[in-house]
């Protein structure tokens, strides 16, 4: 059975992410594993050994109790009946802790809450989120605090990579559960170029691997990639945007390295699903 992992920090953003992750897991009939990664202070010297052992035990018990109560508060008391499990554990690195659990459970997806507005840059440029996006064995879904629960349109931004096809297949699995539409979008800089021809080729490649019928393909012509994608998402009431993150020139790195809070904010309105090219 599939497992979806949600990493919680007990914040307001995490509440929305938790509910979103639970809705996904319910649609897939999957298990939802809610985790919280914490760290203990470093202590040196033999005199601290006994104290530190006790601190480990009490801290572990405290965090596991907090996490379970937090999930019950926001999802309901019958966690077992909802196929929801909780686990708090210690790790010096949040990223390594999440990654270890994802590998252990062969997670179908990792879900985390997205910080909003000016904090988005901190989220994406920090070690945890960018490391997950680059190294996770499964797709990473970033859910903003005000994300709606409906899922009617998923926009997949492509640059015609071979790895896109595997990612689009996963997107189609999600869309099928919600009877949602998918639009595969490519933004070409020159209207006189071969963007439309490439899209026709890419469409044939996708249709050979993906049987889901509610997929459209569209080429947008613009020199302003980020602004054009943002406008397309807004004007078409997209509920999720998905894309492949490449090691050398990933879209997310380009987007969040730009020092423009308004752009970051606009991409923080709907859930963002990122695929690591190495997995496809």
**Over 80: is that where the pLDDT of 168 sits?**
yes
**Per-residue pLDDT reduced to its tens digit, 86-140:** 999 999 888 899 999 999 999 999 998 876 543 334 444 345 666 777 788 999 9
Q: Nearest 5°: phi and psi at 118?
A: -65, -20
**What pLDDT was estimated at residue 251?**
53
* Residue 117 Ramachandran class (φ > 0 left, ψ -120 to 50 alpha, else beta): left
Among 1-5, 22-26, 120-124, 130-134, the range with the most confident prediction by mean pLDDT is 22-26
pLDDT at residue 1, rounded to an integer: 73
Share of the chain above pLDDT 70, in %: 81
Residues of 3-18 as b/e, b for ≥16 C-beta within 10 angstroms?
bbbbbbeeeebbbbbb
- Provide the pLDDT for residue 259: 37
Share of the chain above pLDDT 90, in %: 55
Q: What pLDDT score does 248 carry? A: 57
Helix (H) or strand (E) holding 86: strand 84-90
The mean per-residue pLDDT over the stretch 204-216 comes to: 96
Residues 6 or more apart whose CB falls under 8 angstroms from that of 256 comprise: 120, 121, 124, 125, 264
Average pLDDT, the chain: 84
Q: Which pLDDT score is estimated for 247? A: 64
Q: What is the pLDDT of residues 212-224, one digit of tens each?
A: 999 999 999 988 8
Q: Are 113 and 143 in contact (CB under 8 A)?
A: yes
| Burial of 78 (C-beta count, 10 Å sphere; 0-12/13-18/19+) | exposed
Q: For position 223, what pLDDT does the model report?
A: 85
Q: Are 152 and 180 in contact (CB under 8 A)?
A: yes
Of the pLDDT bands very low, low, confident and very high (cuts 50, 70, 90), residue 278 is confident
pTM for the full predicted model: 0.86
Lowest model confidence (mean pLDDT) among 30-39, 125-134, 227-236: 125-134
Which residue ranges does the chain devote to CATH 3.40.50.620? 3-144, 153-279
**Architecture of the structural domain at 153-279:** 3-Layer(aba) Sandwich (3.40)
What are the contacts of 71-76 at 24+ separation with CB within 8 A? 71/18, 71/34, 74/15, 74/18, 74/19, 75/18, 75/19, 75/22
DSSP secondary structure letter of residue 78: -
Among residues 8, 65, 16, 13, the alpha carbon closest in space to that of 38 is found at: 8
Q: Is the per-residue pLDDT at 85 higher than 90?
A: yes
The CATH classification number of 3-144 equals 3.40.50.620
pLDDT value, residue 260 = 34
Strand partners, 244: 275
Q: Can you give the pLDDT at residue 92?
A: 85
Predicted pLDDT at 40 = 77
Instruction: Band the pLDDT of 267: cuts 50, 70, 90.
Output: low
């Amino acid at each position: 059975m599939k497992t979806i992992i949600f990493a919680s920090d007990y914040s307001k953003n995490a509440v929305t992410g938790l509910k979103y992750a639970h809705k996904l897991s319910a649609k897939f009939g999957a298990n939802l594993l809610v985790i919280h990664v914490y760290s203990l202070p470093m202590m040196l010297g033999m005199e601290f050994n006994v104290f530190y052992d006790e601190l480990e035990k009490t801290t572990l018990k405290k965090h596991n109790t907090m996490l379970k109560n937090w999930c019950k508060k926001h999802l309901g008391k019958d966690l077992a009946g909802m196929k929801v499990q909780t686990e708090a554990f210690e790790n010096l690195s949040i990223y390594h802790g999440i990654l270890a659990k994802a590998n252990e459970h062969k997670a179908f997806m990792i879900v985390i809450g997205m910080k909003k507005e000016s904090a988005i840059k901190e989220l994406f440029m920090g070690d945890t989120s960018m490391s997950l996006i680059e190294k996770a064995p499964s797709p990473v879904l970033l859910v903003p605090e005000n994300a709606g629960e409906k899922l009617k349109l998923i926009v997949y931004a492509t640059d015609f990579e071979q790895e896109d096809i595997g990612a689009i297949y996963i997107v189609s699995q999600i869309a099928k559960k919600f009877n949602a539409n998918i639009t595969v979008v490519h933004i070409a800089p020159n209207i006189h170029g071969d963007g439309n021809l490439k899209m026709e080729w890419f469409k044939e490649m996708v249709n050979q691997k993906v049987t889901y019928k509610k997929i459209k393909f569209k080429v947008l012509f613009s020199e302003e990639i980020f602004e054009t994608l943002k406008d397309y998402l807004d004007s078409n009431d997209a509920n999720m945007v998905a894309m492949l993150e490449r090691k050398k020139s990933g879209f997310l790195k380009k987007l969040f390295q730009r020092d423009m809070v308004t752009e970051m904010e606009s991409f923080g309105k709907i859930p963002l699903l990122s695929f690591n090219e190495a997995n496809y």
